[in-house]
């Protein structure tokens, strides 16, 4: 197959995986009210808040943000809660049902785009994010291509943000871990940040119904048990 055919086949595989996953019983493990999900969302929000304040600043009202693979829009809603202007936010998603959900539950003004970043010619964003997107792409060349597209969409001095998995899941061959070395190879960074977070879900599920501070304490004292990371990298002026 040529490169175009390979790319289309990978995109079709990813779409099929998400359609199957979002229609299955596995979603029950990620219900918003489960104790471990509540704690994971809180942990992620804490790290997002710290890193965004350290990089783009505490005032998000003028920030232009592009969220690649935005799903149902959760990250953009978080930014709106923290003061971002909906009219300056753009979300891209390949699954129509998830994009429709994002439109339905998010403040008006956000720009929603159905498709892939390479077809849209978007430029001059202050922050370009991709969350559990790279791990869904198994082909290394296509990961690098997405990284290049994100970099082109970023203004000089802006930041890329990646939230993803640190480890492979032997029970899920549809995803592959993302390493810091791989990310460092994608972008010629003027500056970067890396934080691991969130207790590995199988352990967290067992501990979640105990004292609320136990998962946080375990994640704090045993960094190898943290299953995810947030990576931010700045484009030179």
> What are the pLDDT digits (tens) for 98-124?
999 999 999 999 999 999 999 999 999
Would the pLDDT of 205 be above 90? Answer: no
Would the pLDDT of 5 be above 70? Answer: no
What integer best gives the mean pLDDT of the chain? 90
* Averaged pLDDT, 178-200: 93
Fold type of domain 3-234: Rossmann fold (3.40.50)
Which pLDDT score is estimated for 139? Answer: 94
Q: CA-based angle 73:80:153, to the nearest 5?
A: 65
59 CB-side CA count, 13 A: 2
* Averaged pLDDT, 21-35: 68
Would the pLDDT of 1 be above 90? Answer: no
Contact criterion met (CB below 8 Å) for 231 and 194: yes
Q: CA-based angle 18:177:193, to the nearest 5?
A: 110
Label residue 201 by pLDDT band (50, 70, 90): confident
Would the pLDDT of 12 be above 80? Answer: no
> What are the pLDDT digits (tens) for 135-177?
999 999 999 999 999 999 999 999 999 999 999 988 888 899 9
Which pLDDT score is estimated for 21? Answer: 55
Rounded to whole angstroms, the Cα distance separating 231 from 184 reads 10
Which pLDDT score is estimated for 4? Answer: 60
**What global pTM score does this model have?**
0.88
How many C-beta neighbours within 10 Å does residue 196 have? 17
Label residue 32 by pLDDT band (50, 70, 90): confident
């Amino acid at each position: 197959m040529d490169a175009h055919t390979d790319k289309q086949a990978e995109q079709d595989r990813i779409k099929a995986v998400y359609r199957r996953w979002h229609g299955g019983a596995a979603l029950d493990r990620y219900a918003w009210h489960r104790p471990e999900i509540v704690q994971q969302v809180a942990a992620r929000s804490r790290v997002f808040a710290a890193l965004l304040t350290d990089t783009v600043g505490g005032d998000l009202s003028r920030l232009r943000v592009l969220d690649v693979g935005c799903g149902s829009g959760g990250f953009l809603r978080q930014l709106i809660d923290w003061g971002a202007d909906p009219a300056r936010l753009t979300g891209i998603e390949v699954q129509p049902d998830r994009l429709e959900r994002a439109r339905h539950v998010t403040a008006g003004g956000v720009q929603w785009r159905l498709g892939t970043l390479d077809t849209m010619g978007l430029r001059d964003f202050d922050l370009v994010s991709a969350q559990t997107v790279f791990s869904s792409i198994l082909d290394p060349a296509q990961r690098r291509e997405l990284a290049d597209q994100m970099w082109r969409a970023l203004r000089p001095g802006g930041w890329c943000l990646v939230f993803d998995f640190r480890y492979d899941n032997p029970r899920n061959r549809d995803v592959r871990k993302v390493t810091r070395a791989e990310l460092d190879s994608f972008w010629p960074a003027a500056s970067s940040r890396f934080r691991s977070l969130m207790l590995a879900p199988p352990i967290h599920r067992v501990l979640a119904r105990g004292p609320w501070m136990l998962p946080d304490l375990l994640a704090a004292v045993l960094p190898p048990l943290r299953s995810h990371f947030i990576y931010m990298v700045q484009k030179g002026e």
